[in-house]
Amino acid sequence: MMQPTRSTKIAAIQMVSTPVVEENLASARRLVADAARQGAQLVLLPEYWPIMGMKDTDKLAHAEQTGGGPIQETMSELAREHKIWLVGGTLPMAAPDDGKVLNTLMVYKPDGEQASRYDKIHLFSFTKGEESYDEARTIVHGERVTTFDAPFGKVGLSVCYDLRFPELYRAMGDCALIVMPAAFTYTTGRAHWEILLRARAIENQCYVLAAAQGGKHPNGRRTWGHSMLVDPWGEVKSVLPEGEGVVIGDLEISRLQGVRESLPALTHRKL
């Protein structure tokens, strides 16, 4: 069996996506290139990075079929150009229901080949005052827990609202890293984002890399940002509060092993 890489530089991209796909593709290219220049070997994009429409239904017009389309092609090109593992946030993918899409995370290898796919399982719904969201109006939920194997270990895939469901992460098994692309609202993010990210890292004794939307969007929505890297002890190693940018840090196998050896909670599970 291949021994895991001892130290890997990983990065999360924070964006403030617009309704214009071409603008967002250009921003992603620039930010991923920046992360690669800093030595990142795995780069994570945020949820809805290719489009944050003026209306929820705007994304339907940009839904892609498996294996083709400008968004998937851009991700494959970026992975190949920079020789990185690219975890592509989410994009709208065609669903069996013609009036809806799947909110899909794609993973690409350093040669540009697709390595994995995860369709977001838990769909966000929130109402408070004038704020109201219901992803189920335009999105079909996924059904399959998904991980993939990277050189440093197993990576668990999750998206935004999934963060509130710890049973999903238990179902992933022993991961070295959990990724969390998101577009948390300002209200829910301020209250719960960091707490939940640190909880998932602590209880699963692994790294958590979170890439967020972070700012005021043309559609009037304000997202919380605070993309971050959290280590297996729950320590925030790097964070970007708001605006475009890159969060970068090291995934250290020795740190992960040290936490698990000193507090072997995963081996103490009875349920």
Marked catalytic residue, from 59, 135, 160, 175: 160
Question: Which residues, given as ranges, of the chain have pLDDT below 50?
Answer: 1-2
At 3 the pLDDT is: 59
Cα 232 from Cα 14, distance rounded (Å): 22
**Contact (CB, 8 A) for 113 and 124:** no
Give the active site residue among 47, 64, 135, 242.
47
Using the CB atoms, write b or e for 41-57: b if 16+ within 10 Å: bbbbbbbbbbbbbeeee
Instruction: Give me the pLDDT at residue 10, please.
Output: 98
Q: Which of 59, 100, 109, 120 is catalytic?
A: 120
Kindly give the interhelix angle for 70-82 and 21-37, rounded to the nearest 10 degrees: 10
Q: Considering the entire predicted model, what is its pTM? A: 0.95
Task: State which fold the 7-263 domain adopts.
Answer: Nitrilase/N-carbamoyl-D-aminoacid amidohydrolase (3.60.110)
- What pLDDT is attached to residue 122? 97
Helix (H, G, I), strand (E, B) or coil at 128: strand
Among this protein's residues, is 120 annotated catalytic? yes
